Structure 1
Amino acid sequence: MTEVNQKTAYDDNNIFAKMLDGDIPYHKVYEDDKTLAFMDIMPQAKGHVLVIPKQKTADLANLEPEYAAAVLMTSKKVMQAQRKVFEREGIIQMQLNGAQSGQTVFHYHIHLIPSSIHELGRHAVAQADQSELANIAKQLAAAINDA
């Protein structure tokens, strides 16, 4: 039987760490002192947003409670904005821990996808149009600010 590593090592060179360090551009939806929400560049549906903590950890098991709470509060704001902008109730909330679950970026993150599980597209198949992502990010940010 193979041993399962319960603590995934954090890689400071992952794309989300580089975004937090300001090394890679992104389409910001929301930011506070503990979290960042931005458009997924390879969305599974229109309006797919990722929420990450500013704590550098790969897995929920290692996420400090104050960052976990902040991620949930930011997710709540983003979901309310998605419901308003896309005029829909259903938002998929998805979070993967470890490669065996399908996690590909090893920085803890939550996917918020305004779609039905039955209509969900495949992830990381095609990159979205950058101007469309920028426009959606502005709409969502405005909806959060209006709340």
Structure 2
Amino acid sequence: MSSIFTKILSGEIPSHKVAENDKFLAFLDISPLAKGHVLVIPKEEINYIFDIPDELLGELMVFAKGVAKKMEKVVQCERIGVTVIGLEVPHAHVHLIPINSVSDMNFAKPKLSIEADELAEIAAKIRNA
């Protein structure tokens, strides 16, 4: 079930990493709904969020929580919204999105286009928070 996330994990495709450990990777979405929109993925290739073993799913959410706490320190927003859609890439992932209202998480909205240097700057700020 190789996907674009597999290529990111292998380094074949570059990403703006914000956090990583032996089981998970968090990186900036390159087509974000908001500045600082992060994707959190397990390193193990698992297609569907509810196919993740319970213990690993719990660890994924704790890892995502740590990333969200860092995001709150550097991205101006009311909250960090969390969503799982699971249709766009066949690799389980969690969206962490800086939000000020529910409509900020509307995936039908046009995505932002952010230059690579600004993405790198945002990623560094979150990593270093």
Contact 1:43 1:123 in 2 (8 A): no
- Give the percent of matched residue pairs that are identical in Structure 1 and Structure 2: 39
Structure 1: how far apart are the matches of 2:57 and 2:97? 19
Aligned length: 127
Which secondary structure does the structure 1 equivalent of 2:104 belong to? coil
- Which of 36, 44, 65 is equivalent to 1:76? 65
Deviations 1:55-87 (A, max 9, x none): 101102211223212211111111111111124
* Partner in structure 2 of residue 110 of structure 1: 94
Contact 1:35 1:67 in 2 (8 A): no
Amino acid at match of 2:102: I
Q: CA RMSD in A?
A: 1.8
Change (3 A) 1:123 1:25: farther
Structure 2: how far apart are the matches of 1:78 and 1:25? 19
Give the unaligned 5+ runs of structure 2. Answer: none
- Are 1:60 and 2:49 matched, yes or no? yes
- Are 1:93 and 2:77 matched, yes or no? no
Contact 2:81 2:105 in 1 (8 A): no
Using structure 2 for the length normalisation, give the TM-score: 0.89
Q: Which moved more, 1:33-42 or 1:81-90?
A: 81-90
Which secondary structure does the structure 1 equivalent of 2:92 belong to? coil
Runs of 4+ that moved beyond 6 A: none
Change (3 A) 1:41 1:138: same
Contact 2:25 2:43 in 1 (8 A): yes
Change (3 A) 1:123 1:138: farther
Give the unaligned 5+ runs of structure 1. Answer: 1-10, 98-102
Whichever structure has more strand as a proportion of its residues is: 2
* Partner in structure 2 of residue 8 of structure 1: none
Which residues of 2 match residues 1-147 of structure 1 at below 5 A? 11-12=1-2, 14-97=3-86, 103-115=87-99, 116-120=101-105, 122=108, 125-143=111-129
